[in-house]
Chain A
Amino acid sequence: MPSRAFSIEDGNLGNKSILTSRREEYSDIDLSFAKKGSGDIFKKSSGASVKQAVRNLLLTNFSEKPFLPRFGADLNSMLFRLSTDIDDDTLEDDIIKAIETFEPRARVLNIKSNISPDTNEVNITVTFQIINTSEEAFVDVSLTRLR
């Protein structure tokens, strides 16, 4: 049976595999700005990079990012609200909406929020899947009064 030969320019399928997908390697700077012994700053890569981005997103308030006023989860807007005004469902909806809109690398799996009016605290745990690797990760965000 005759074999089909392609030119090198066309991939020469006879002796070269066809690239059907490409894995995107995420890499970001570490926002702690800690430095290595060499003096370079540390990198965040793969899941850690996405996790950092999600945390970033959750801790950003509306109008903080230049020319993108609706970026962020706006959690700080809860700061001066009455505890009775804060609603779990609304909070979760806001977080899901923010991640779906601004972080395409993550799919939210679960959000747990724990509102403690007595200690003036809100704890949020967002569990998400990193789409590229199917790896699961979670981010804890705790909002509490300083004094």
Chain B
Amino acid sequence: MATTIKSTQLDFDFIKNKLKEKFKEQTEFQDYNFEASGLSNLLDVLALNSHFNGLTANFALNESFINTAQLRSSVVAHAETLGYIPTSYTSSQAKLKLSILITTTPRPTSVTLTRGAIFTASVDDVSYTFQTRQNFVASDDGTGSYEFKTGTGLSEIPVFEGTEKIKTFVVGEKSDSQIYVIPDVTMDTSTIRVRVFDTLTGTTFTTYTDIQDAVRVTNDSALYQIKEVPNGYYELIFGDGLSTGKAPVAGNKIVVDYLSTQGTVANGATTFTTNVALSVSGVNYPLTAVTTSTSAGGAFKESLESIRRNAPIAFSSQKRLVTAEDYRAQILANYGAYLDDVIAWGGHDNVPQIYGRVYAGLKFKSNIDTTTQEDVKNQIKNNLSENLSIMSIDLVFAEAITTKLVLTTFFNLDPDLTSSTSQSVENLVQSTINSFFATNLRKFNKVFRRSNLLTAIDALDVAILNSRMTVAMQREQAIDLNQSATYSITFPTTLAEPDDVNRVITSSLFTINSKSCSIRNALNSNKLEIVDQDGVIQIDNAGSYSQLQGIVTLVGFAPSAVQGTLLKVNALPANQGTIRPLRNYILDIDTGNSLSTAVIDNQNTLVTL
């Protein structure tokens, strides 16, 4: 029995030829091979029927698994069965300091900025609307200056990009089994507010909250669920009055408001203007906005690949923070708009081991400023770790440490096999190397495998006959100038053993004793020495390197200047074929120092060496 089905076996021609082969085994009917014959017509029907059935079965089977499904509706449905709700469009969020100045007296002790205050900002010459989503209060500081604050006393007021939309539903009889549809594919479900009014005209309402945020659910909980449906719209579902909270009753009015957003494109807005003015004693005072955090975090709907990756992890984490993968899943699911990648590990895996801790390395997207980064870290601690983690486990953030690789590539090029110049092939090779890093590395847990890269280079052009590459690692270290200090520079892998030919450790230039010098290890030794550009040793014991731990230690290092802003320390790894970064290390390429060089090879085996 065949264990695999090739999709080409479902082709019409393949099936028809198979049927013809079957007919060859009999002598009764001979005309199966003539397209105009009656038999051929019957074979057409049989083959077409099998073709469609096969394709339908193939498609249906593919759509049955989250890993192979192609339709968004299928992937979302599979994720739903795993308890994972894919994220909707997300509004870009900025933080502003908002204030008004009231010069007249008497002045009120406080003023309120009502929700929905509109701000405008531009990104790439396109204007976007931002707005507040709740009321903020400002108090007089004694001089007539009123600065608005959040409920927790912070003066950074969040504003969200998008247009507010309102949908009103009238609740019918229970037997109607109403589904409340919100036909808006760009809705940011995190901005939704659901109010259920007692009557159509009354003002008394109950605010329902997302069941995802519920800690305890009773038959009286006011909760809603929102989910994406196959056409990309959203449906609002209320409790059943039993296990999932109470349900609105006939005659109630449901008012839903939310932001319909543009997603990613509104990220990066720096200057916000507003026409909002607050009326005090009949005089309008303009609102002043100062940007504290540029807009960030806007995102489109979660992609299929992201859902495929996150749903199973979220299922295994069961909305709790126990294992390292739980932390990764929850942080990515809730703050993925700010992050490229997350890694987490327990304190027992850390160096040095510290029990009772979980470490999380965050790689922020490139446009996220440091204020927002700190804010996200605080939110992760306050909203996730403190609510979902095991007691007495502390979450500690570890900075993502980038180790750059310096790649020196040589490839044999037969100029007779290509119309390109060696220079253009060199450029092609170098750009392939750069895109290899963009595609396969620059994230946590991504391993550099030299042979994979060399295979890609060899496949670039038939004129490239073979290739080789030396790999060095590079770390950058900030130096306190003119201060004697000890520096410990850690590499993510073990380092090469010292030998009598190659220097395992080298560095960029710096000034010491008024001479331009660099660091290197002594031949056949772990000891580090500082040499000037003439090769004269200035300091013969500047520290050492630990081959097994991958640590370079500089002792009493006190340069007066450093080339560039940071000291670059290069080290040869023990295994240049595989660089496996541990924990919070990320591999990238040093594009400035990585070179690709063509070696002309005419494949002539008759010349002398």
Question: Is the beta-carbon distance between B35 and A68 smaller than 8 angstroms?
Answer: yes
Question: Is the beta-carbon distance between B29 and A71 smaller than 8 angstroms?
Answer: no
Contact with B along A51-62 (1 / 0, CB 8 A): 011101100100
Q: State in angstroms the CA–CA spacing of A26 and B29 once bound together.
A: 8
Question: Is the beta-carbon distance between B38 and A27 smaller than 8 angstroms?
Answer: no
Of A24, A49, A67, A68, the contact of B37 (CB 8 Å cutoff): A49
Interface size class of B (residues with CB under 8 A): 10 to 19
Question: Is the beta-carbon distance between B12 and A56 smaller than 8 angstroms?
Answer: no
Question: Is the beta-carbon distance between A43 and B34 smaller than 8 angstroms?
Answer: no
| Selected interface stretch from B39-47, B57-65, B268-276, B428-436 | B39-47
Does B416 sit at the interface, judged by CB under 8 A?
Answer: no
Does B190 sit at the interface, judged by CB under 8 A?
Answer: no
Question: Is the beta-carbon distance between A26 and B36 smaller than 8 angstroms?
Answer: no
Q: State in angstroms the CA–CA spacing of A25 and B28 once bound together.
A: 10
Contact with A along B406-446 (1 / 0, CB 8 A): 00000000000000000000000000000000000000000
Q: State in angstroms the CA–CA spacing of A71 and B12 once bound together.
A: 16
Question: Is the beta-carbon distance between A53 and B12 smaller than 8 angstroms?
Answer: no
Contact with A along B13-37 (1 / 0, CB 8 A): 1000000000000001111001111
B12 partner residues in chain A, CB cutoff 8 A: 66-67
B35 partner residues in chain A, CB cutoff 8 A: 65, 68, 71, 102-103
Does A28 sit at the interface, judged by CB under 8 A?
Answer: yes
A49 partner residues in chain B, CB cutoff 8 A: 31, 37
Count of A interface residues, CB-CB < 8 Å: 26
Does B48 sit at the interface, judged by CB under 8 A?
Answer: yes
Question: Is the beta-carbon distance between A26 and B30 smaller than 8 angstroms?
Answer: yes
The A91-107 residues at the B interface (CB cut-off 8 A) are 102-105
Of A24, A29, A54, the contact of B39 (CB 8 Å cutoff): A29
Does A121 sit at the interface, judged by CB under 8 A?
Answer: no
Q: State in angstroms the CA–CA spacing of A65 and B41 once bound together.
A: 8
Does A30 sit at the interface, judged by CB under 8 A?
Answer: yes
A53 partner residues in chain B, CB cutoff 8 A: 31, 34, 36-38
Q: State in angstroms the CA–CA spacing of A53 and B34 once bound together.
A: 8
B48 partner residues in chain A, CB cutoff 8 A: 66
Whether A24 contacts B36 in the complex (CB less than 8 A), given A66-B47, A66-B48, A67-B13, comes out as no
Q: State in angstroms the CA–CA spacing of A65 and B47 once bound together.
A: 12
Query: What is the CB-to-nearest-CB distance from B53 to chain A, in angstroms, rounded to a whole number?
Result: 14
Question: Is the beta-carbon distance between B36 and A102 smaller than 8 angstroms?
Answer: yes
CB closest chain-B residue, reference A68: B35
B38 partner residues in chain A, CB cutoff 8 A: 28-31, 44, 52-53, 56
Query: What is the CB-to-nearest-CB distance from A98 to chain B, in angstroms, rounded to a whole number?
Result: 9
Question: Is the beta-carbon distance between A65 and B31 smaller than 8 angstroms?
Answer: no
Question: Is the beta-carbon distance between A29 and B29 smaller than 8 angstroms?
Answer: yes
A25 partner residues in chain B, CB cutoff 8 A: 30
Chain A interfacial positions (CB closer than 8 Å to B): 24-31, 43-44, 49, 52-54, 56-57, 60, 65-68, 71, 102-105
Q: State in angstroms the CA–CA spacing of A62 and B570 once bound together.
A: 71
Query: What is the CB-to-nearest-CB distance from A35 to chain B, in angstroms, rounded to a whole number?
Result: 15
Extra A-B contacts (18), CB below 8 Å, given A26-B31, A43-B28, A71-B35: A24-B30, A27-B28, A28-B30, A29-B38, A29-B42, A31-B38, A44-B38, A53-B31, A56-B36, A56-B37, A56-B41, A65-B41, A66-B44, A66-B51, A67-B12, A67-B13, A102-B36, A103-B35
Question: Is the beta-carbon distance between A103 and B29 smaller than 8 angstroms?
Answer: no
B47 partner residues in chain A, CB cutoff 8 A: 66
Q: State in angstroms the CA–CA spacing of A58 and B345 once bound together.
A: 75
CB closest chain-A residue, reference B13: A67
A102 partner residues in chain B, CB cutoff 8 A: 35-36
12 A-B pairs with C-beta separation under 8 A: A24-B30, A29-B42, A43-B29, A49-B37, A53-B37, A66-B12, A71-B36, A102-B35, A102-B36, A103-B35, A104-B34, A105-B34
Query: What is the CB-to-nearest-CB distance from A132 to chain B, in angstroms, rounded to a whole number?
Result: 11
Among B30, B31, B34, B38, the most chain A Cβ lie within 10 Å of the Cβ of B31
Query: What is the CB-to-nearest-CB distance from B59 to chain A, in angstroms, rounded to a whole number?
Result: 19
CB closest chain-A residue, reference B32: A28
Q: State in angstroms the CA–CA spacing of A49 and B367 once bound together.
A: 75
Question: Is the beta-carbon distance between A65 and B37 smaller than 8 angstroms?
Answer: no
CB closest chain-B residue, reference A32: B38
A56 partner residues in chain B, CB cutoff 8 A: 36-38, 41
Among A26, A27, A28, A31, the most chain B Cβ lie within 10 Å of the Cβ of A28
Q: State in angstroms the CA–CA spacing of A57 and B41 once bound together.
A: 11
Q: State in angstroms the CA–CA spacing of A56 and B37 once bound together.
A: 7
B13 partner residues in chain A, CB cutoff 8 A: 67
Query: What is the CB-to-nearest-CB distance from B155 to chain A, in angstroms, rounded to a whole number?
Result: 70
Q: State in angstroms the CA–CA spacing of A31 and B31 once bound together.
A: 13
Shortest Cβ-Cβ A-B pairs, 9 listed: A53-B36, A28-B31, A57-B36, A31-B38, A66-B48, A27-B30, A53-B37, A67-B12, A103-B36
A24 partner residues in chain B, CB cutoff 8 A: 30
Q: State in angstroms the CA–CA spacing of A44 and B51 once bound together.
A: 28
Q: State in angstroms the CA–CA spacing of A103 and B31 once bound together.
A: 11
Question: Is the beta-carbon distance between A103 and B34 smaller than 8 angstroms?
Answer: yes
Q: State in angstroms the CA–CA spacing of A27 and B26 once bound together.
A: 12
CB closest chain-A residue, reference B44: A66
Query: What is the CB-to-nearest-CB distance from B406 to chain A, in angstroms, rounded to a whole number?
Result: 56
Query: What is the CB-to-nearest-CB distance from A47 to chain B, in angstroms, rounded to a whole number?
Result: 12
Query: What is the CB-to-nearest-CB distance from B28 to chain A, in angstroms, rounded to a whole number?
Result: 7
